[in-house]
Every structure is written in C-alpha cells, then in structure tokens.
Structure 1
Amino acid sequence: MTRAHNVAIYGRLIIFAMEIEVKDLKKSKYSLKISLPPEELMPYFQATYKKLAPEVKIAGFRPGKAPRKLVEETIGQARLLSESLEVAVQRSYFEAVGREKLIPICPPKVAIVKYPSWGLDADEVEGGLVFEAEIEVMPEVKLGNFSGVKVKKKKIAETKKSDIEKILLHLRRQKATFVEVERGAEKGDRVEINYEGSVGGVKKDAMSAKNQPLVLGEGALIPGFEDNLIGMKKNDEKEFEIKFPADFSARDFAGKTAKFKVRVVDLKEIKLPEPSDQFAASFGRRNIPDLTTAIEKSLKDEVENKARNELELEVIEKVLPYLEVIVPEGLVEQEISRIIAGMEEQIKNRGLKFEKYLESIKKTLPELRRDLRPTAEKNIRIGFLLGKIIEKEKIDQKDPDAGRRALDCLIARLVK
C-alpha cells in the first residue's frame, strides 16, 4: 500500500510527494518504507547549512560570509548530509505514522535504504532519501467471559500477644547498651569473632570471616556453631568440628564435616532497657500501653495488607487466562529494562555496584534479561487486563488510581 503526500509551490505549481509504503508484518508490527524526493529534502539541507555555516572560521572572511564551496569543504559534505538526514528521517517518520494513523508503542527500528547526494538546490541532488522504519503498535486485546470465576475470601489471622511481645523485645534491643565482661560467653551475649572453616584440610572462604558480630542463641550460624562459643572469654581461641546437615542450603557443604578455628575478639553483655514510660516516650508514645496499642495496630495493618496482596494475586491469576493478546516484543524489552533499572537503584542504595551483584549471582546482563522475560511478559499482560477492566467499567484512564480501581472492581465481582 503506497501513498503520496504534500504539495508545494515554487513560482509555478509543482507536485512532489513523500511516498509511504505500509506493510503489515502481523503480530502488531508494521514496516513503513518512506521515500523523500530531492525537493522535500531541501528544507532540511538548507536549514543545516544555515546552522553550521556561521560557525565556520575561514581566514579573510567574516563568519557566514565565505563562499559556499569553501564552507562546504571546511565542514565536510559528509557531516552536512548526515545532520540533514537525521532531522529529515525523524520528522518524516512522525509525519508518516500520523498520516497512516498508527500509534507506535516504542521507538522504531530505522534503516536507510538509499542515500541522496548533498546539495542546496533540488537540481544538485542526485537521488532521494529512502528509509524503512519497523514499528510496533498497541495489539488487539480481548477479554473472555470470566463470570464463572470465583475466589473465596480468606480469613485474616488475629494478632497474637506473643507477636506483640516479639516486637517489643526487638524495640528494647534497639535501645540496648553493651557492657564488657570478663566471664565466659553466655546465651544472649553479643560477641565478635574471627573464624576460619575448612573441609578436608582446604580452607573455604565462604566459611571464614573477621569481626563477625552475633548474639549467642539467635542461631544466625550453622546449628551447633554457637554452642561451641559458650564459655569462651575475650581473646580465647578454639577449634572444633561440625557436620553440615544433609539438606543444607549450600549443596557443596551439605552432609560434610567442617573444621573451624575461632577467636573471640569482643564479648559484651546486652543490657535491655525496662519497658517503662520513658522507654515508650523514646518511640513517641505516652506509655507502654500506648506503645503496645501502636504495635498491635501496626501488626494488624501488616496482616491485612498481606492478605489483600494475596487476594489480589489470586484474582489476577484466575482471570489472566481469559486474556487474549500477543504481547509486543518492544514492550517486553522496555519492561525488562524498567525492572533492571529498579534493581540497579536498590543495589546502589545498599552501597554496592551492579556489576558486583551480577558476579555474585553468576549471571551476565544478557542472561539476567533472559531470566526476567517471563516476569516482564506477565507484568504487561496484567497491565492489559486492568486496561480492559478500566474500559469496561468506564473508569477515567487519566485517574492515577485507575489501575487500583479496576482491581477493586474485579475483587468486588469475584470474591465471595
């Protein structure tokens, strides 16, 4: 399908055109072959010359007053042509998609098929500009009849007194003081240790650390490790063996016996503050009952939010199979890039480099992008699903909470 556009008048009526040939490549892809004759290239060529000529310094001539031939030799016709075509391609592309009433969802893939020569008059230019632009447009989205889908409302667990006490203990530990002791280590003490671990006489970096802090009894290290530290004093050294559980998460060590050499470099007793009104005031509360009430509310909100998130996920999972859409590749790539950008920001905030993170998970960036593809595709499908609900329920698309309102509509309809 080829179309011609534009009419210009140069003293007498001359018709020239930008030709557009459109091919439907299926799966929401189109190819546009756009041809511009020399006459249509003139505004771009002349604008580039007028922009660059005054910047040229040629001995014996004021800026912008040198002969054209000298200016072109100084700038270089390759540069003049390159900058002109860059603008010509961009503007004619946008004009072409507008004329064809196509709405691209991502930047086009552009390839110049035919280059013109340089000139400031159409008669000087040999050949026109021909380039191809491959674009992706919003796909057709269909949502089947999901009226038979039902989701059972889940009961929200009640907040237990023990949960409140755990949080209160955590807050007391935040305000704890540390007192050096000369006795042997006991459960509840804070210690710092240097340790080296080896298997079969070979030292393992993953089993070694310096100034490792831990609270005895919390079970932060392999089972049995902390028990061997009980009774040790500051600067004491000790060697012992521990057999890793058969189901240990690090498969290289699972079921194996490791030998550890440990030195206690610091030992302190943890003094927890009493749960007094003064303690409550340090967290902006009047007294302990007020602090306890705030903790209970926070826990309740957390449980309710978790239940809501699980309910939303279940509703989406059950309705998503009724969505029919071919997800455009361009959107998938954009979503993968968005996810990675978020990961990079989080890792940066933790004071790490993204390259080091990739090394730690033993993946290259292309491998990570490949692994994120299913997640990206699902995210986009969810977006299309909510878009159909927004359309069906006549929700204002400009409303920043449109997606949330669409999800609320689904939950109201399906959850019983």
Structure 2
Amino acid sequence: MSKKHYSKTKIEHITLLNGLIERYGDIYELILQRVDQANNFSMYTAKMSVDATFAFIKRLPRDYENLDGVQRALKLPKINSIKKLATEDPAIYSQPNAVVISLGKPNSTEDPIVSIGTIHNFPELLVYKINLKRMLKRVKSAQVDSLGYIINEKDLFFGTLIDAHHRLEGLFAAERFTFEVPVTVYLDLPRNEIYRVFININKFQDKPSNVHTLAIEQEAGIFADEEEQSKRIISMLNTDMDNTNLELGMDEKSSKQPQWSILFDRIKTVDAKRPAKARKIYVTNSTFDKLIKDNLFDVVSKELSVNRKAEILNDYFLAWSKCFPVAWEDTKNHVLVKSMGFQIMMKLFPTIYAPLSYGRVPTQQDFIDFINRTLNNGEPLMMGDTPFDIEWDSDTFGGYSSGKGIGQIVKTLKGHINSQAQTAATPY
C-alpha cells in the first residue's frame, strides 16, 4: 500500500493545523489522567478531536512498503463502512472505543513544540501542551516528495498511532474533523513496546458472528437497507462455517462440519487470479448483487431476517442442484452454474417463489417439487417452433447467452412454468 493511503499531504497538514489554531489558539492542550496498572508504563487517558489525531500523529501500517509497521494495512471497504455509520445519523453516532497512541516527551531543542505541565493539587493529572504555531512552521518548511507528501514524517511528528487506524480514517472520510474520541496515551513508549501493546489489544479479538450481530441490530432497531442486506446475503452464502450454522441446526460439537451453503466460495469477490486449487466460480458478486435486489426483496417478506433470506436462497439453489444434478456438476457442457444460468435461476425466483409462499415460507422440498413438476417433467420448452429439452446443455442454451437472449429464455420459461403448473393440477 503506497504512502498516500495512510498519510496526509503537506497541504492537508497545513489545513488541519490552521483549523486547530482557529478553534484552540496557539496551544493545543491534552489533559492526561494517570491510569495505574501496576507496570512500568506511563499510561493516561484523554480526549482528542479527529483532526488533531492527523495533525501530529504518524501512522505506521504494516505492508510490503513498510514491513516494520504496526497497524494492519488499510482496507478501504472497512473505512467506507465506518464513514457510512458516522454520516447516516450524526445525532446518535458514537465511538466509545479508545484510540491508542504514544506521545513523545519534550526534547531539548531551542524551539520545542511539546511541553508537559502539572495541575496544582491534582497529582494524577498532566497537561500535555502542543505549540500549534511552531508545529505549523515546521510543517511549512518540511520537504515533500513528488506527490506532495512530507518525506521525513518520523522526524517531524512526535506522536505514533498504535490502534484505531480504520476508525480514524473512516471519521476523517466522513469529515467529522471536530468529533472527539477517547484516547489512551502512552508517554515515550519504545518501539518494541508499541508492538507489544498492539498485540495485547488485537490478539484475542474475535469478530461477533453474523447471527449475534444481526440479533443485536434488531434489538437496537437497526434494520439494514436492501443494499446492505444484499451484501450480507452474498457474504453469508459465500462464507465457510461460522456461528451462523448453529442457527441452521448443525452440530455445535462437530469438529468437521459441512459448508452450510451450496454457494460456498463460488461467488467471485476478488478481482485477481484464483488459486489453482480454488473452487470454480459460478457468478460474480456484482452480478449476484443486482439479481438479488431485482428478484428477491419484492417477493420475500420484509419481516424476515437477513439470515432467513439467505437460507431461502440456499434452499432454492439446493433444489435446482437436486432437480438437475448433471447440469449442476458439469460446468463444461452445461450453462446452469455459469453466469447465464444464475441469471436465469434468479430471474425465475419470483415466478417460482410467489405461488409457494401463501401464508408461509417455502421449504427446500417445496422448491424441489415445484421445479420437478414444471421444468423437469419431460415437457420441452418451445422456443418459437423449436422444442428445447430442458437439460441446460451448452449446445442448446449457449446461443442465448447475451442479455437479449437470456431475456428471451426467461420470458419463455416463465410462460412454460405457469402453463405446466396449471396442467399439473397441483395446489400451487
């Protein structure tokens, strides 16, 4: 990751410092409250505005260009998610987790930027003072590279960010510059101890399962919009076992559980060459995302959870795989598990789901019975005057792989399904 992804340009730093001077004057003061953890570290708690954390604290992400870095390399989707949360409803957004930094102690230069004072009768408090005017002068005289980034950041900035890189970048992207965050401050922490603190914070951190997160969101009254729901459904269908599977009735004690989703690792989410032994891709996430938005949300009850919607789609595709096992397994000579086939199956979802969902949610067996009765009953599909056996072979269906051709196939299949459903004299 290049420097521009985690640093600010000289011009941006000047803008940040001018903004701080306008709000706080020449001196920015941090009131540090001592935290005693019975160790050798000087640790304090304080608060800082977001723009202040960028104005004089350097970032040290670990990537191929900075192998001695501390923080994880930036992930732009994570930053964008935080940005979205911070901007959707500023009145109720909060960020209680502490930003963790190390601040340098005053040096012996004739024109120091940093000084530390005490508060009378409050021995546990320190005042860490930053001379913004002097800092601005240093920044203005700093040398920059061809892109406008300061070359010797390590010499110029006296603070080091240890943890909360993504949070701060997300808040910065949301332009929440005056937003104040709680800060844990170490004074003059050695580099090797910075690594140790980062490990202590992150080593045993587990991301909550989808089940837990979604349940808590529901309790909080947070309901994801269709954009977010679609992305979560794709992620759940494409992801290996996690706690989601316990909700689906699988054995918690099993040491080797099967993937719950038939689409596990079949949805392309990375624009890069697949590893040699990776599973074959069925559909891209962008295509699947549009198909879900266009064909799922209007027919499935809005009251159903995202987990349940993902489970319905999984049942739906499992039904297709069981009704047409040869076409599902043979990607070379059949179109069913290619992009064309997924477009056809998803565009048929409303036609198949609607008659099955009166007063209930269809089961996998419901889907199997319906598909067998209407599409897998030996009756050919009439494309004009030409009968097509519905076996999804490439020789027959491959000529319709264009957008117009898929539209024609889907329209004909919908008519065929409706006709066969009536002929079959079922309760559907």
Normalising by the smaller structure, the TM-score range is under 0.3
Greater C-alpha Rg: 1
TM-score (norm 1): 0.25
- The structure that is strand-richer by fraction is 1
